[in-house]
A and B are shown apart, each in its own frame.
Chain A
Amino acid sequence: DRLVVYLTNSTLKIIYSVLRLICFYAIEKVCYAQVISTCTFIDSDMKNAVIGNNRQKANLIVLGAVPRLLYLLQQSSSSLELRTECAVVLGSLSMGTENNIKSLVDCHIIPALLQGLLCSDLIFIEACLRCLRTIFISPVTPVQLLYTDPTVIPHLMSLLSRSQHTQEYITQIFAHCCKTPEHQTVLFNHGAIQNIAPLLISPSYKVRMQALKCFSVLAYENAQVSMTLVNVLVDGEQLSQVFVRMMQRDKPIEMQLTAAKCLTYMCRAGAIRTDDNCIVLKTLPCLVRMCSKERLLEERVEGAETLAYLMEPDIELQRIASVTDHLVSMLADYFKYPSSVSAITDIKRLDHDLKHAHELRQAAFKLYASLGSNDEDIRKKITETENMMDRIVSGLSESSIKVRLAAVRCLHSLSRSVQQLRTSFHDHAVWKPLMKLLQNAPDEVLVMASSTLCNLLLEFSPSKEPILESGVIELLCSLTQSDSPALRVNGIWALMNMAFQADQKVKVEIVQALGTEQLFRLLSDPDTNVLMKTLGLLRNLLSTRPHIDQIMSSHGKQIMQAVTLILEGEHSIEVKEQTLCILANIADGNTAKELIMTNDDMLQKIKYYMGHSNVKLQLAATFCISNLIWNEEDGSQERQDKLREMGFVDILHKLTQASDPNLCDRAKTAMQQYLA
């Protein structure tokens, strides 16, 4: 039946092959031995039939040729020629569509071929490897299949010495199948570095190139590999120098780019210093060149992303890159795809441009983000680039999530500039698309966007007002309930910024929206950052006397409880200091004071911290007492008396002799309250 279906839409040749195949099955079922001599003939015919014809390949697969071929391949009784032919046909089948590869993998071709590698015949091994290579470089193949049998990797390593072909195929398989730190470790433990390093000076360009790619995936975010790589010698030369040579400008672009990636990864993993000449004078300029207009779009994307990664943590590299070959304006070109010219003249070109347009934009945003992450001058240069802010704004609402993420990263990087916050950010109303982005975006975008929002909510930012009016508080409060610590931090951080010197109305709104329950949940958050920012929020809420009294009157009990809890708990100095500062703020209130004065336990705690070994804590506690005994307020006399009874005067007296001048001054001021 199947055959009939295929008769309708296949060529004569394939019918011929298929018929032969079916005959072959029939005969073979009767007597395998008799047909063994004709097999080679049939197979080579099949081979010629399938080369370069995807439909015929699919036909053969549907007809069940793969299990047959695999069966023959695995029969050690078959002749070596036949087995090799089988591997070649399978290799040809795997060159087809992704569906072909899926079916091949489903037929368990990988274990069969890996098994075949144990054979001693080089030609057969090469045929198997070629097929394996084609299968493994396909995105549909699960790379894990390479690692299921622990004997495979050592065996592949041992095959590296057999021929240039085995070297090329095996390194290519490694380069594509090393996707996780575990893979890196497996390959590393089996001597990948020692085995592959000599291939970097192989006479074959393909081998050199694949070996180089191997190193780039092995070194990526892997300190162990990177540290080993710097000490490897190839033909008496340091590996980094070999990479530098591969970056020479007369080398193929692919090689320059991959070598630059290797050095970038080694540098980021800490194996090479960022001020090493091979980074500053070789890798960085090489990557900048990769961003130039002369390069292919793919190369420009890869170059920009790698460069962004390279200089992310280093301000000096950012400064150098920002002046190299006009990089900042060069990147503006990344936004000009598809160009208006290509749309008219060339459909193919347009298609190509469209395909890469998103990638180019996100790469440019990433690189801008990296460039501007530290230096104010560079940020200024970036925002002054033609239409930069408009591009970011439109990037924030693009359909591609990658572009949105990169755009918000870029915005975040630029938002660290006070000047930009005051000027271009406000002029372009970036808060609008940003707020839109914050509605139901994926977490990674949310983290960046909320982080940017934090900066936009700083008190000097003119965008703060409109953002407040847009009902951001609800959103931020919901962020504080997120599972992701980063989002919780950003949410509370933004609230903290918002509460800084804010109106009573805003503060009340925050407290109401957040709810005391959530506030206290955050105060027991496992993440110290969250705790710190929550305390910061409390501190900002409890500023200026009327606010303090109002909030304390409604939430005083809970707040005092929380403060007690933190002061009693195991927390860092910074956390305790922050808490004592809150207490000091409370002590500044008119009515709120009483919450402390009536709480002897709390007063004992303050006393304890005044005698603490840490100056910061002593200072904060002294502040608190100073506020309580301040003269010009009602009932100051009673408070002074009570505290004297509790022995605070003696402590203050002692503190006036403290070595820290601040603490000494503060204690003296407090003592004066008694004298007046």
Chain B
Amino acid sequence: KWGRHWMCPVKTTLLQPSKAAKMAELGAGSLLTGDPAFNYQEHELNERLKRLYPAVNEEETPLPRSWSPKDKYSYIGLSQNNLRVHYKGHGKNHKDAASVRATHPIPAACGIYYFEVKIVSKGRDGYMGIGLSAQGDNMNRLPGWDKHSYGYHGDDGHSFCSSGTGQPYGPTFTTGDVIGCCVNLINNTCFYTKNGHSLGNKLSALSFCPCLSFQPNLYPTVGLQTPGEIVDANFGQQPFVFDIEDYMSEWRAKIHSMIARFPIGERLGDWQAVLQNMVSSYLVHHGYCATAMTFARATETMIQEDQTSIKNRQRIQKLVLAGRVGEAIDATQQLYPGLLEHDPNLLFMLKCRQFVEMVNGTDSEVRCFSARSPKSQDSYPGSPNLSPRHGATNAHLHNTGADSPTCSNGVTPTNKNKSHNKYTGVSSASASSSPSSSPSSVNYSESNSTDSTKSQPHSATSNQETSDSEMEIEAEHYSNGVTESSTRIMNGTYKHQEILQADDNSVDDSCSSRQLCGGNQAATERMIQFGRELQALSEQLCRQYGKNATHKKMLQDAFSLLAYSDPWNCPVGQQLDPMQREAICSALNSAILESQNLPKQPPLMLALGQATECVQLMAKVRSGSCSFARVDNFLH
């Protein structure tokens, strides 16, 4: 019970399911103790760490959360969830010194890292040292004595920088004092605080505190030397005494103004040309023909691609986004003969999508049977030829997606607005990350798809701790957004439940029900036939190019839709979401552009991708400013 109670807040705050799973693992200790206060503290900790270090990817570089029970000298004892450290040696002389390191090193992506230690008792002599050390440093020492270690010592207030002799640094500290250690990975310095007051770092003449120059990973470290010494760590479990966020804000402002004032060189004209080219090529790439033309005219620049070519691409993209994949394939084959023949993978993807759209009832091959949308059938005769009436179709499509031309038709009128909003949200998210589908956007869409289906109210209830039945736990688990493979494994168990669930909600369903292939018998038959063709194509490709797991899975997923009475509301139902068309659409667009010897990515996206990569690289090479130079800070 605690487990579930505990997972609820995590789920609402952390969108990434894998992280949630991680939290569960980390929280294992708390499950045993069942201490609600501790759970609350854990929650506080996660919130605070997320706020302080938003750039840190904890899957790669976890943040320190407690002292490590493994990475310590034997004279050190830990308690209170590994946050309290006490000395249990003889404490005769400096040879009895003992340290403990935190569980993880400080990730460079923090930019600025801070932790505090409260002196619970100064013990016999108060020889406490607070600081940093590297992995592998001798633990039978106080921080600061060895290479790559730094410490501020309570007995004399000296700062030790990888040396047995300290420099006069600050006041002494004793029982009741709160000592903080701040690592600035931007200018590679560190300073200490006492009771919320910065004791300062560099000075002109004397360098009291270290320049952390090039360093291996540093761990928060505390060292004790005489009996009775007890200290408590605060890695973010509680509010810090020192206003670290204020300090960070100064550096954030510094770096932002540095970026804003970054010199772009003498040739201002060239700079402008580059910018114009980026905008123009972006518009052209996505086929915003008229806008691109106007832009070109206003800025007196040239467009590389022929206008007709842009319009053709635009038309094909619109067809895909409207769910008329069959027509899109025809148009592509007609306008760019040989393209799909040379790229069987793409063709297969398109065909799979076409099958999904048939299920959806949007593909023209089934749509022409449907009586439900005579108007669109009217406006589209089903002929792949370029007819004069096609303009009308385009106009119609254009209207539906006025805000964002890539917008697809909504599934149902009632859902339209909602899915539209979601769509734009996701598209911007995927735009900001590199084009190879980022995990976060996929996860997002997964949870979205469940939201938009009828299970939403149900899973919403299961989010609240009131519901207890096992079934609902599973439902919750599912809505949490499990990865695709696990979904498939659990398919069998789900199936039954999902049907039940669908039955439960059948009252709601009946009103705005979406039916297979638009509910038309002939269309269904056409779909089944198409499915067989698709299966044949798959087998043919298999013979020709050998087995392809991706294809197999794609096909399997598509066919799985038929296994459910309500495909829109099933574990693989997200395929039917209009925004799934986007990926295939951009793949097709890129393929066409490549075939025309044009770049398959617009330079703007390349630049964005490069910037994102650079920031990640900065984190890898331990350049702290990356935390304040994140790309999304500059995308409004």
Which chain B residues border A284 with CB–CB below 8 Å?
A: 197
CB pair A329–B250 under 8 Å, yes or no, is: no
B212 CB to nearest A CB, Å: 18
Which chain A residues border B198 with CB–CB below 8 Å?
A: 285, 324-325
CB pair B204–A281 under 8 Å, yes or no, is: no
Q: Is A333 an interface residue (CB 8 A)?
A: yes
Which of these binds chain A: B147-155, B241-249, B326-334, B391-399? B241-249
Which chain B residues border A182 with CB–CB below 8 Å?
A: none
Query: B213-257 vs A: 1/0 string, CB under 8 Å?
Result: 000000000000000000000000000000100110110110000
Q: Is A250 an interface residue (CB 8 A)?
A: yes
Which chain A residues border B253 with CB–CB below 8 Å?
A: 249-250
CB pair B194–A323 under 8 Å, yes or no, is: yes
Identify which of B171, B203, B246, B247 contacts A329 (C-beta below 8 A). B203
CB pair A333–B194 under 8 Å, yes or no, is: no
Q: Which residues of A from 391 to 408 have beta carbons under 8 Å from B?
A: none
Interface residues on B, range: 20 to 34
Identify which of A282, A324, A333, A386 contacts B200 (C-beta below 8 A). A324
The answer to whether residues A333 and B199 also contact, given A249-B250, A281-B243 and a CB cut-off of 8 A, is no
CB pair A250–B199 under 8 Å, yes or no, is: no
A549 CB to nearest B CB, Å: 56
Q: Is B75 an interface residue (CB 8 A)?
A: no
Identify which of B194, B204, B208, B249 contacts A248 (C-beta below 8 A). B249
A370 CB to nearest B CB, Å: 17
Identify which of B199, B247, B252 contacts A323 (C-beta below 8 A). B199
Which chain A residues border B208 with CB–CB below 8 Å?
A: 326
Q: Is A472 an interface residue (CB 8 A)?
A: no
Which chain A residues border B197 with CB–CB below 8 Å?
A: 281, 284-285, 320, 323-324
CB pair B199–A326 under 8 Å, yes or no, is: yes
A326, B206: Cα distance in complex, Å? 11
Q: Is B196 an interface residue (CB 8 A)?
A: yes
Which chain B residues border A386 with CB–CB below 8 Å?
A: 205
CB pair B249–A250 under 8 Å, yes or no, is: yes
A383 CB to nearest B CB, Å: 15
Which chain B residues border A329 with CB–CB below 8 Å?
A: 203, 205-206
Q: Is B107 an interface residue (CB 8 A)?
A: no
Q: Is A571 an interface residue (CB 8 A)?
A: no
A285, B243: Cα distance in complex, Å? 11
CB pair A250–B200 under 8 Å, yes or no, is: no
A327, B246: Cα distance in complex, Å? 20
CB pair B170–A323 under 8 Å, yes or no, is: yes
A413 CB to nearest B CB, Å: 20
A457 CB to nearest B CB, Å: 34
A209 CB to nearest B CB, Å: 17
A281, B247: Cα distance in complex, Å? 13
B254 CB to nearest A CB, Å: 9
Which chain B residues border A324 with CB–CB below 8 Å?
A: 197-200
Q: Is A293 an interface residue (CB 8 A)?
A: yes
Which chain B residues border A282 with CB–CB below 8 Å?
A: 243
A205, B250: Cα distance in complex, Å? 18
CB pair B203–A250 under 8 Å, yes or no, is: no
A641, B203: Cα distance in complex, Å? 78
CB-CB nearest in chain A for B194: A323
CB-CB nearest in chain A for B170: A323
Query: A367-387 vs B: 1/0 string, CB under 8 Å?
Result: 000000000000000000010
Which chain A residues border B206 with CB–CB below 8 Å?
A: 329
A323, B198: Cα distance in complex, Å? 8
CB-CB nearest in chain A for B169: A326
Q: Which residues of B from 304 to 322 have beta carbons under 8 Å from A?
A: none
CB pair A326–B252 under 8 Å, yes or no, is: no
Query: A237-267 vs B: 1/0 string, CB under 8 Å?
Result: 0000000000011100000000000000000
A330, B200: Cα distance in complex, Å? 10
Which chain B residues border A249 with CB–CB below 8 Å?
A: 246-247, 249-250, 253
A327, B250: Cα distance in complex, Å? 20
Query: A271-294 vs B: 1/0 string, CB under 8 Å?
Result: 000000000111011000000010
A149, B231: Cα distance in complex, Å? 67
A403, B436: Cα distance in complex, Å? 67
A330 CB to nearest B CB, Å: 7
CB pair A326–B200 under 8 Å, yes or no, is: yes
Query: B180-206 vs A: 1/0 string, CB under 8 Å?
Result: 000000000000001011111001111
Which chain B residues border A326 with CB–CB below 8 Å?
A: 199-200, 203, 208
CB-CB nearest in chain B for A322: B171
A250, B247: Cα distance in complex, Å? 8
The answer to whether residues A250 and B250 also contact, given A281-B243, A293-B204, A323-B171 and a CB cut-off of 8 A, is yes
A91, B196: Cα distance in complex, Å? 49
CB-CB nearest in chain A for B253: A250
CB-CB nearest in chain A for B198: A325
A338 CB to nearest B CB, Å: 16
A329, B205: Cα distance in complex, Å? 9
A323, B171: Cα distance in complex, Å? 7
CB-CB nearest in chain A for B243: A281
Which chain A residues border B243 with CB–CB below 8 Å?
A: 281-282
CB pair B204–A333 under 8 Å, yes or no, is: yes
B193 CB to nearest A CB, Å: 9
CB-CB nearest in chain B for A377: B171
A320, B193: Cα distance in complex, Å? 11
A406, B199: Cα distance in complex, Å? 26
B584 CB to nearest A CB, Å: 45
A320, B200: Cα distance in complex, Å? 13
CB pair A250–B252 under 8 Å, yes or no, is: yes
Which chain A residues border B196 with CB–CB below 8 Å?
A: 280-281
B402 CB to nearest A CB, Å: 32
A614, B425: Cα distance in complex, Å? 86
The answer to whether residues A248 and B171 also contact, given A323-B194, A333-B204 and a CB cut-off of 8 A, is no
A248, B244: Cα distance in complex, Å? 11
B174 CB to nearest A CB, Å: 14
Which chain A residues border B246 with CB–CB below 8 Å?
A: 248-249
Which chain B residues border A325 with CB–CB below 8 Å?
A: 198-200
A74, B44: Cα distance in complex, Å? 67
Identify which of A281, A323, A330 contacts B203 (C-beta below 8 A). A330
A30, B333: Cα distance in complex, Å? 91
Which chain A residues border B171 with CB–CB below 8 Å?
A: 323
A440, B171: Cα distance in complex, Å? 43
B78 CB to nearest A CB, Å: 31
A520, B198: Cα distance in complex, Å? 56
A249, B254: Cα distance in complex, Å? 10
A281, B206: Cα distance in complex, Å? 26
CB-CB nearest in chain B for A292: B200
A375 CB to nearest B CB, Å: 12
Which chain B residues border A293 with CB–CB below 8 Å?
A: 204
CB-CB nearest in chain B for A329: B203
A280, B243: Cα distance in complex, Å? 12
B195 CB to nearest A CB, Å: 8
Which chain A residues border B250 with CB–CB below 8 Å?
A: 249-250
CB-CB nearest in chain A for B209: A326
CB-CB nearest in chain A for B157: A323
Query: A295-333 vs B: 1/0 string, CB under 8 Å?
Result: 000000000000000000000000010011111011001
A358 CB to nearest B CB, Å: 21
A327 CB to nearest B CB, Å: 8
B199 CB to nearest A CB, Å: 6
CB-CB nearest in chain B for A252: B253
A256 CB to nearest B CB, Å: 10
CB-CB nearest in chain B for A321: B197
The 3 closest A-B pairs by CB, nearest first: A325-B200, A249-B250, A250-B253
B residues whose Cβ falls under 8 Å from a Cβ of A: 170-171, 194, 196-200, 203-206, 208, 243, 246-247, 249-250, 252-253
14 contacts between A and B (CB under 8 A): A248-B246, A249-B250, A250-B249, A280-B196, A281-B197, A282-B243, A293-B204, A323-B170, A324-B197, A324-B199, A324-B200, A327-B200, A329-B205, A386-B205
Q: 16 more A-B contacts (CB under 8 A) besides A285-B197, A330-B203?
A: A248-B246, A249-B246, A249-B249, A249-B253, A280-B196, A281-B243, A282-B243, A285-B198, A293-B204, A323-B170, A323-B199, A324-B197, A325-B198, A326-B199, A327-B200, A329-B205
